[in-house]
Every structure is written in structure tokens, then in C-alpha cells.
A and B are shown apart, each in its own frame.
Chain A
Amino acid sequence: MASFVEKLNLILTIQCQRASELISESFERKLLLHERLALRGHIVVCWSCRQFEKHLRLIRLAFRKLDQQEKQELAATMGDPANQMDESFKQRLKQLRP
């Protein structure tokens, strides 16, 4: 746990490197209060980090779309006989032991 001084230090002195890490982490977890303050304060004044956040948002959106495409692809291959598994292989799979 960061001390009060460390938290304050982050808020006052945060730079692009740490800010961009926090932007990425904000997609992973809820940021702590002092991290949010530091990041929002930095983003107000930093044009590049504002762009960086927008870009990551687009990438996130693109992955969502890619995920959907994958699922459709998977559904589309359903009836294709070329993609059918041998029944004997299926039985072999069931015999697997670690």
C-alpha cells in the first residue's frame, strides 16, 4: 500500500509513461482514488495521453468485434463435413489420463 506522500507525489508529478500505463490498467481494474486523480489531472493537460486513451478504446472495441466475428465463423462451419471429427478420435479423447 502506497503511503500518503507517495500518493500525493503521484498526483503531482505523474508523467506520460506512468499515465499511459494507468490508462491501460483502467481497462483491467478499477483504479484507486489517487491513481484516478493523477490520471484525470494529467489527461486534462496532456494531448498525447488523451489520444492514447482514445486509441486504446478503439482497440478494445475492435477486439469485441473480432470476438463476434469469431463466434459467427465458428457457427458457420457447423455443417461442413470437412470439419467433422472422427468418432474414433472422440473416443480416444475420452480415454485421456493426465
Chain B
Amino acid sequence: MQEPNANTRIDGSPGVEPPNGDAQSQLLSMWVDDHADALYRFAMTRVNDKHTVEDLLQETYLAALKSSESFRRESSTRTWLIAILRLKIIDYYRRAEKEIATETNTLAAERMPARCERLKAWNCEASQTIENHEFWDVFRACVEQLPATLSRAFSLRELDGLQPTQVCELLQISNKNLAVRVFRARSLLRDCLDKHWFSKD
């Protein structure tokens, strides 16, 4: 074994102690060398402002350093860093829209329509639909319309493919709460697609 952070394991309590300053800086250095270029490009395709992207990257690495050890071991580092970066980008856009202040109330205040109405069938082959370019414009627009609390949880789950326990840890929410958010996100997305894509003539 010649992992750069191997010296954290010498102290006799492997993985329990938080890494000391030196080990942490080695870890950070490794993360930057291996993943910073990809993270930078990922953010640039979404934000396209150099200084904002640099800020977002700093926030991402800071958050990563603060996150728990267990998380680091469970998923691939790249996936995990991109997941955090994605949260930072979502937050950045919400700040820009000044919605962040009301965000905490959104979940409680939102009234979901009861799922009792008769749903229309989506008359299409799923595989054909997702090959259609116009469908993607509608799909992306619908995803962007989701409230921040929902889209944070939902995109980590669906886009970054994190396990439910990992999403809960990253967002500091309970399993139950995650299930509720994901359900609401799916319902809203379904309604949006229904209205803007599958109901059109």
C-alpha cells in the first residue's frame, strides 16, 4: 500500500480519528490533481463565469474536507465531488434568484395535489421518447422548475446516482424526509411532462 494518506493509519485507530492537518492537505492536493480539471469544466458548462466557477470550486473542496470519512470511502471520489459541486451550483442559481430565503418554508407550505385524479396514459414508447430532441428541452425545463429543496435531493439521487443514505448524509436529512422530497419531485416532474409534452396534440 502506498496511498498518499497512508500516514493517517499509523495512529492505531484507523479511520476513526479525523485526519490531521498534514494528511488533510495531502488528501486535498490529491483531489485537486485528480479531479479539479473535470470539476472546473463541469462548472464552466453550467455557469460560464470564471470567477464564479472558482468560488464554487473552493466551496466544493471546503465542503468535501468537512464531510465525513465514511462518505469518502463509500463512493467514487469523482462522483462525490461532482455531487457536492452540483449542490453548490444549484445554490448559486437560487441565490441569484433570491429564493434561498424562502426555501426552508417551501417544503411545508407546498400543497401537493392529491393523487386521485384519473391520469392519462402516455401514448408512446419510452425509448423513442428519450431519443427525441424536443423532449429534452421540455424535460430540462421541467427539472429546472422544481423547487430548490426538491431538486437538490432529487438530482443527487438521479443524476449523481448516490445511494439514499449518502444523499441523506450530504443534505443532513432523514430517510423519511428524502423519500418525501423525491416523491414530490417525481410527482411535479410527472405533472409538468404530462402538461407540456404528453398532452400536446
Contact = CB atoms under 8 A, between A and B. Distances in A.
B117 A48 contact: yes
A12 interface: no
Interface stretch (B7-15, B92-100, B120-128): B120-128
B45 interface: yes
Contacts of B140: 66
Contacts of B62: 96, 98
B32 A93 contact: yes
B116 A90 contact: no
A93 B136 CA distance: 35
Given A85-B36, A85-B37, A54 B164 contact: no
Contact of B41 (A15, A52, A60, A78): A78
A51 interface: yes
Interface stretch (B69-77, B102-110, B178-186): B178-186
Contacts, number: 121
Contacts of A48: 115-119
A61 B119 CA distance: 20
Contacts of B66: 98
A92 to B, nearest CB: 8
B17 to A, nearest CB: 16
B116 A15 contact: yes
B187 interface: yes
Given A24-B179, A74-B41, A94-B32, A16 B116 contact: yes
B161 A67 contact: yes
Contact of A52 (B114, B115, B159): B115
Interface in A43-98: 47-49, 51-52, 54-63, 65-67, 70, 73-74, 77-78, 80, 82-85, 89-90, 93-94, 96-98
Interface of A: 15-17, 19-21, 24-25, 27-29, 47-49, 51-52, 54-63, 65-67, 70, 73-74, 77-78, 80, 82-85, 89-90, 93-94, 96-98
16 contacts: A15-B116, A16-B116, A24-B187, A55-B193, A57-B126, A58-B122, A61-B127, A67-B158, A73-B45, A77-B45, A83-B41, A93-B58, A93-B61, A94-B29, A96-B28, A98-B62
Interface of B: 21, 25, 28-29, 32, 36-38, 40-42, 44-45, 54, 57-58, 61-62, 65-66, 114-122, 126-127, 129-130, 136, 139-140, 157-159, 161, 164, 178-179, 182-183, 186-187, 189-190, 193-194
